[in-house]
Structure 1
Amino acid sequence: MGARGPRQKLPKLARLEGNPGKRAELPDFGIEAAGEVFVPDHLHEDAQICIEVIKLSMPPGVYAKIDSYLLAAFATAWALHKQAAHAISAPEFEHVVVNRRTGSEQPNAWIKILNSQAEKLASLGDRLGLDPRARAGLKLPAERPVSKFSGLLGQPGSSASSRH
């Protein structure tokens, strides 16, 4: 059985949110993975595009190389979901089919595939921080405006030191 309570946010997302309650410094979240996300060559073209879209949609450094495998699972689920959605939207699609062995009617297998992949997308998307709730509080750190007093003591980057 899993841990109780809401799942912790991804460390990078928590840091980007900042410290709105002015609490003590945010805790260190442990080991930080390194490297850039890669797109596996063996994935279907739709899945590869899905990973590229995710990479471009999230702030830099949110995902690391090790996250490529979970992103590949998410992207594959999305590609299968897309394929099922196309099959279901075809004009000749039959929602109920006859089982050849038993002769009984049953829902078309594409409907089961569509629903199964939607569940996987929701579960993996939550783990990857891809749902709207995870992004709602996401704020990028704002750049501080330069103070009119900066450089009075000859600090680097000051306007006083660049005049001479």
Structure 2
Amino acid sequence: MGRAGQISPAFWLRTGGAPQMQISQNSRKRDMGRRKKLAEIDRLDGNPSRRLIEESGIEALGEPFIPEHLSDDARGCIDVIKQAMPPHIYSALDSFLLSAFATAWAIHKKATLVISDPKFQWIEASKRGAGVESPWIKMQRQQAALMASLGDRLGLDPKSRAALKMPDATKRKSKFAGLLGLDVSSHLKN
């Protein structure tokens, strides 16, 4: 903007004459809120809030596949994840997220193997001669952070896994179960 509220020609061309609303990074974070859980994950959690579980979005179809371009380590990682999780948690669309997690794991494994070598140099000389940490350490740290982020989304971290319960899991019978004379809990569906 020019002097006294006048619009300069450069501003007019750049914005079409309309003043742009500036949204700060903090206000965006404040408005985002907590992401809602997927319906299937909510069911596996046992629905502790006892609210009606609303189906969200469309149901993805198919079984996850292992892309051919992945390394053997990454393919093995996806195999372990698929065998360890209950059926129908992942679909074919989740294959790409699983691939990203498995690739991060394979790179992390490679970096860890290099670092564990007894001849490994923790500090290397930079172009200017200053001591800097080895790029392998940075790579290992970045892949660990990526695995933590993707693992949370895939339900692989210990906190998410501890909260999951199978829908058909047998529950202990309450000492108040027959108090009303009929089995009320069997009529409720959530």
Normalised by the size of structure 2, how large is the TM-score? 0.69
1:43 partner amino acid = L
Identify which of 25, 44, 56 aligns with 1:16: 44
Deviation at 1:130, TM superposition (A): 1.0
Contact 2:44–2:167 (CA<8 Å) still a contact in 1? yes
Summarize deviations over 1:98-149 as a string: whole Å, max 9, x none. 12x32221101100000010110011111111111111221112367xxxxx
In the TM superposition, what are the counterparts of 1:70-109 in structure 2 within 5 Å? 70-99=97-126, 101-109=127-135
- Look up the match of 1:61: 88
Counterpart Cα distance in 1 of 2:92 and 2:40: 14
Instruction: Determine the structure 2 residue equivalent to 1:127.
Output: 153
Q: Secondary structure at the match of 1:56?
A: helix
1:143–1:133 distance in 2 versus 1, CA, 3 Å? closer
Match of 2:166 in 1: 140
Give the alignment's TM-score, normalised by structure 1: 0.79
Uncovered stretches (5+) of structure 1, i.e. residues with no partner: 145-164
Mapped to 2, the partners of 1:42 and 1:102 lie a distance apart of 38
1:71 Cα deviation after fit: 0.5
User: How large is the Cα RMSD of the aligned pairs?
Assistant: 1.9
In the alignment, the residues of structure 1 paired with residue 35 and residue 131 of structure 2 have an alpha-carbon distance, to the nearest angstrom, of: 41
How many residue pairs get aligned? The number is: 143
**Amino acid across the alignment from 1:61:** H
Per-residue CA distance 1:19-68 (angstroms, 9 max, x = gap):
34443x31112211000000011101100000011111111010100110
Distance 2:39 2:160 in 1: 12
Of 70, 75, 99, 1:43 maps to: 70
Counterpart of 1:18, as a letter, is: G
Asked whether the 8 Å contact 1:10–1:129 carries over to 2, the reply is: no
Share of identical aligned residues, percent?
Answer: 50
Find the partner of 1:4 among 29, 32, 38: 32
